[in-house]
Structure 1
Amino acid sequence: MTIGDRLREERTRLGLSQPKFAEIAGTTKQTLFSWESNKTAPDAHQLASFALNGVDVFFVLTGERLSAQPAADASEQLLLDNFRRCKLEAKQNLLQSSVLYAAGMPPASAPKPVTAPKTRTAAGSMNMSNLGSGNVQIGTIGGDYNPASKPARKRTK
């Protein structure tokens, strides 16, 4: 299997048309056709653009799936698994952050979420706070669980 064949296979795997796939690399459908028919090949900048958009460039170049490469340890595997589940925008943010960390420069901190004011809840109820950006914090269920703070009440009929 050639680089052109593997490039076509990746385009098909991602469900992209030739014009859309070419657009990702900043080129034309005709150039993509030339790559897929092995007349020419994409350059490093185009391959980098493909990588940012979910193309397994390692597979395109070597014929070996990236997932076949074992992670160095469990934490690296966790990072890879979570990265692969992210949407494109999140992947781009993670890549930018990793480049900055690797260069010894921490990325700009994200804005702190706005938290809802704390409220007391009645026993048996649940408190949730919308933290923004799709994050929800779930508080305690059932109110105060500290038995020393209140004596138990007897039920009367």
Structure 2
Amino acid sequence: MTGIGPRLREERERLELTQREFGQVGGVEPNAQGKYENGERSPRADYLAAVSTIGVDVLYVVLGRRTPLAEQALSGREENVLETYRTLPTSGQAVLSNLASSLAEMAANYSTRSTVQKKTRARNTPD
């Protein structure tokens, strides 16, 4: 993905919002949101400031670089993981990164399966 539009769409999808919902946050109509995402128009600074309040990484949207996470924002447990990661050789960092990705994927799959199971049980429960 290159350009502001696709990155803006990526951020909207990451936050699981519709174009209408996202546009409301930024103070624009859904058609304007669509034009931003398709690269037909560029968002204004006040729009970007507004969507940043819901967690949009504006640096990423505009420049394509993720905003670095301030270490002060990390919990003690997160700091420990980061310090441990930094002490590992490159091969160990790769293994840890793969493990974290696998665990996140498993958690997402479990969450989805759990939601489907709850909905199925609810439908099968007699009134």
Give the TM interval when normalised to the shorter protein.
Answer: 0.5 to 0.7
Aligned to 2:56: 55
Quote the offset at 1:10 in angstroms: 0.1
**TM-superposition CA deviations, 1:97-129 (whole Å, max 9, x none):** xxxxxxxxxxxxxxxxxxxxxxxxxxxxxxxxx
Q: Which runs of 5+ in 1 are unaligned?
A: 72-76, 83-157
**Residue equivalent to 2:33:** 32
CA RMSD of aligned residues (A): 1.4
Map 1:117-132 to 2 at 5 A. Answer: none
The 4+ residue runs of structure 1 with deviation greater than 6 A are none
TM-score normalised to structure 1 length? 0.45
In proportion to residue count, which structure has more helix?
Answer: 2
Identity of counterpart residues, as a percentage?
A: 36
User: What is the CA distance between 1:53 and its match in structure 2?
Assistant: 1.1
2:74 to 59, 64, 81: 81
In 2, the alpha carbon distance for the partners of 1:32 and 1:25 equals 9
Report the Cα distance in structure 2 between the residues aligned to 1:16 and 1:5, rounded to whole angstroms.
Answer: 15
Distance in 2 (alpha carbons) for counterparts of 1:50 and 1:21: 8
**Displacement of 1:81 after TM fit?**
3.5
**With structure 2 as the length reference, what TM-score do the two structures score?**
0.55
**Match in the other structure for 1:97:** none
Task: Measure how far apart 1:39 and its partner are.
Answer: 0.8
Give the paired residue count: 74
Letter in 1 for 2:74: D
Q: How does 1:7-156 map to 2 (within 5 A)?
A: 7-67=8-68, 71=70, 77-78=71-72, 80-81=73-74
Taking the aligned partners of 1:81 and 1:21, their CA distance within structure 2 comes to 27
CA–CA distance in 2 between the matches of 1:33 and 1:81? 35
Amino acid at match of 1:66: T
